[in-house]
Structure 1
C-alpha cells in the first residue's frame, strides 16, 4: 500500500500516471475526501448509467451506509478455496495501490463489496447467470456515510498512456452527476405472483424429517422461491428507499450485475470486524409480530420458551462459538438469547464477541462460519449434501455471505436472506426454514410465507 498525503485530487492523478508509466502497467489510485451531505440512495440512483453496476449497504445500527457506482476492478473466485483466492487477490491489489485516505474511517477508501454463492458445488441454472460463484467489486465511486459524516472515494485505474488532464475532466463531470440531488421514481408494482412447486416443497419437508429421524442429520434448512411479475421494469432505488424506511434493525444490501440486481433486508449479521474486535450474531427461531403490545409480548414469550425454536437457536450458538474460537481469543457468549424485533417478525438473538488473532482476516471468519446452521443445517456437511441433492431451488447468492472489507482490515458480512433477485420486469423471492425431526410441513410452509413479507411488501405485492 502506497499512502499519499497529496490533498488535491489532480496532484494524486499525476502521481498515479507517473507510477503507471514507470512500471509500464496500470495503477490503481484511491482518493478519499469529505463531501457535503447527500442521500446515499440519491447517489445510487444517479449511478444508473455507470458501467459495471451499483452497490448499496446499510448496517443494522444505521451508523454506516455505502453506495457505489461503476466498477474500478473486480475480483472473482470459484471452487472450495474461493475465500483464500479472494484474500490473495485483495491483498495484491491493496499492496500495489496508491491510497489517499487520511480519515481511515471504516468503509472509506478502496473497499471490496460483494458476495458468494451458497454452495459452489451446486450446478448453476440460468436464474443466476449474471452472478459468478464469488465476486467482490471495487466501485469506481463510493459514497460512505459513517456516523453522519459523508466521504467520497474515487477509485481510478490509470494506464501508462493516460493523460492527467483527461482523467481529471472525466472525474469532475462524473462526481458532479453523482453528488447532485435527484427525485426518485415510483417503485415497482406486482401485477401477479406465483409459488414455485409448493406441494413438492412440502413433500421435501417430509423427506427431510424422515432423513433426520433415521439419524443422518439433526436439522436441514430448506428454501423455496416465489416469483413475481411487475407491471413495468422495476427501478431498484425506490425499493432500497422503502427497505431503509421500513426494515429497521436490518442490513439493507444490493449488488447489481449486468441487468440483474440482488437485494434484500436481512437481520442476520455473519461477522463484523473493526480494529480487530469481532462481533457475530446467532439469529435463529422466528415468530410473527403481534398487532397489539400485549399480543406482541405474548408471542415473544412463547418464542423464548418454545422447545423447537430454542433447540434450533442453540444449534447456531454452538456452531458460531466453535468457528469463532478457531480464529479468536476472549470469546464471550451470553447464556440465554433475547428477542430481536423487526417490523414483521421477531427472532431469538445471541451476540458473540471476540478479539481476532494476528494473521487472520474477516474472510477467514466468513469461511469458518458459512454456512451457519440457520441456513444449512447441522451437521453442516451432511445437511448441505441433502440440500444439494434434493432441493429444487438454485439458491445462488441467497443464504450466503454478502458484505464488504476495506484496506485496513475492517469489514462486515451479513447472511443474504429476506431477499430478491430482480430481473427487469420480474423477480424471484427466497425464503427458508429449519426442518427438524418433528417439523410439520404446513407450519414450515406458513413460516416461509411470513418470511416473504418484508421484501414482498416493498415490491408492491402486499402491505
Structure 2
C-alpha cells in the first residue's frame, strides 16, 4: 500500500487533538515529490509561495495558506520574539516588501506581506518533507485544528506543469527610449551629480497578451537556466503572480553573523570563454562601473557601522550569469546582540544597487520621474526565522496579470553613463525571460 503523507499528517493531527497545545507546533512527515512547482500549481489554497536561496544545495520550499500574516516588519518581529520567548519549535516566515513604501504600489500586493504558512513542502539532498503548521497561543484550539483539517482535505497530488507556448503580444516600454535619454541627461548633469552621484532608473516592459503563461511553468523553465541565483514566486490571489530569479542577496543572517553584498556594474557575456574573460577584466577596470559598485558598498558599510562590529569587505570579482556579468563585493559582519531583522529591514532596503546614493535624493528623483509603479520589483523577498534569515533583492522578475506580463529592469546612472548603452543594458537584463516567452 502506497504511503500517503496527507493521511500521515491527519493521524498526527488526530493525536494532537487530545494533547495540551501551546505556542507553535509543526507536524512533519516524509513525502515523495518530483516537482515542487507542479505540486504548488494544482493546489487551491492561497497564498502560494516558492523560495530557493542562491547557495549550492539550498533547501527548496513551497508554502500554502497562512496561519498568520504580517503587514509590517515590526509585527513580524513581535511574533518572532513571542515565539522565541516561549521556546520550542520556531517557524519560518516567507514573504516580501515593496521597493518604496511611500509610493503607490501594485493593487493586490501590500507594502509588506509575510506569512507563517499553513503547509510547507521542503526538499533538500536528504529528501522531501510535508509539514502542517499550527498556532495555539492567541486563538481557539478548536477553530485552529478545524482550519488545519480543512487545509489538509484541500490538498491534491502534483501534476506535470503545462508546456509554455510562444506568446502573441504587443510591447510597450515605460519610459520610452526618448524619455530615458532625457532622464539620464538630468542625472548625469554636473549640478545633479554634485548632490546625487547615483540614481538607479528602471523600465517597465509591458507585454499585452490575450493569454498569459502559467507562472509556475515559466518560473520552472527560468530556474533551469539561472544557476547562482535566488528563485521565488508568489501568488496572493489566483489572478496575479510575481516571479523572479534574482542574482542579488539583500542579506543572509546566521545567528549574529551577517553577509551582504555590493552587486553593481554590468557587462554582457562573451561568445566564448576567452572573450568572456576579456569582458570581465574590462568590467573590473572600467571607471564608470567601478564607481557604480563603489557607491553601493560605501553606503552599505555606513549603514552597517552602527549595527555591527568586525565588518570585513572582500575583493571585487565578477559574477557570471546567463546573459550578463556583474561586479560583486561580499561584506561580512558580526551584528550587535540586540540587532533584529526588523532593524535590518528598516536600514538596508532599498539598497543603493536599486535606488541610488544618497538614498533620499535618489528616491525623490525616481518618484518624480518614473510613472510606472515598481511595486515589489527591486523590493525584498525571502525567508525569515529566529535562528536565520535569507532575503533577496527582487530584481530579474516578472509580474504576471490576467492580460499582461510586466518585466522590470534597472540601470545605475552615474557620471559617465551613456543613455543608449544603459538602454541596451536593460534589454540584456530581460533577455533570458524574453527568450523563454518565445521573443528572444
When structure 1 is superposed on structure 2, of 287-296 and 149-158 the one drifting more is 149-158
The correspondence of residues 251-262 of structure 1 with structure 2, limited to 5 A, is 251-258=230-237, 259-262=239-242
Alignment partner of 1:387 is 2:380: no
Q: Any idea what the Cα deviations from partners look like across 1:303-348, whole Å, max 9, x if unmatched?
A: 11111001111111122222233222222212x3111011111111
- Distance, in Å, in 1 between the alignment partners of 2:19 and 2:438 is 49
Residue of 88, 91, 94 corresponding to 1:113:
94
Q: Any idea what the Cα deviations from partners look like across 1:219-259, whole Å, max 9, x if unmatched?
A: 11100110113452421111121122011111111121222
Match of 2:186 in 1: 207
Contact 2:175 2:370 in 1 (8 A): no
Match of 2:54 in 1: 60
Offset of residue 143 of structure 1: 1.4
Contact 2:212 2:400 in 1 (8 A): no
Match of 1:318 in 2: 298
- Distance, in Å, in 2 between the alignment partners of 1:89 and 1:446 is 45
Q: Any idea what the Cα deviations from partners look like across 1:271-314, whole Å, max 9, x if unmatched?
A: 00123321112111111111111111111111111110011111
Offset of residue 379 of structure 1: 1.1
When structure 1 is superposed on structure 2, of 352-361 and 152-161 the one drifting more is 152-161
Query: Compared with structure 1, are the counterparts of its residues 459 and 114 closer, same or farther at alpha carbon in structure 2 (3 Å cutoff)?
Result: farther
Query: Compared with structure 1, are the counterparts of its residues 382 and 197 closer, same or farther at alpha carbon in structure 2 (3 Å cutoff)?
Result: closer
Q: Any idea what the Cα deviations from partners look like across 1:113-169, whole Å, max 9, x if unmatched?
A: 111111111234xxx100111111122211122444423221245763737986675
Query: Compared with structure 1, are the counterparts of its residues 12 and 323 closer, same or farther at alpha carbon in structure 2 (3 Å cutoff)?
Result: farther
Offset of residue 182 of structure 1: 1.9
- Distance, in Å, in 2 between the alignment partners of 1:386 and 1:111 is 36
Residue of 8, 16, 26 corresponding to 1:12:
16
Alignment partner of 1:417 is 2:412: no
- Distance, in Å, in 2 between the alignment partners of 1:166 and 1:70 is 14
- Distance, in Å, in 2 between the alignment partners of 1:133 and 1:211 is 34
- Distance, in Å, in 1 between the alignment partners of 2:205 and 2:391 is 25
Alignment partner of 1:73 is 2:52: no
TM-score by length of 2: 0.88
Offset of residue 15 of structure 1: 3.6
TM-score by length of 1: 0.84
Structure 1, unmatched stretches of 5+, are 1-6, 20-26, 78-82, 102-108
Query: Compared with structure 1, are the counterparts of its residues 164 and 364 closer, same or farther at alpha carbon in structure 2 (3 Å cutoff)?
Result: closer
Residue of 35, 38, 42 corresponding to 1:42:
38
Residue of 186, 207, 231 corresponding to 2:163:
186
Query: Compared with structure 1, are the counterparts of its residues 340 and 164 closer, same or farther at alpha carbon in structure 2 (3 Å cutoff)?
Result: closer
Q: Any idea what the Cα deviations from partners look like across 1:417-457, whole Å, max 9, x if unmatched?
A: 11111102311111110111322111111111111112323
Alignment partner of 1:457 is 2:438: no
Structure 2, unmatched stretches of 5+, are 1-10
Q: Any idea what the Cα deviations from partners look like across 1:387-425, whole Å, max 9, x if unmatched?
A: 11222221111111211112x331111100111111023
Aligned pairs, how many? 424
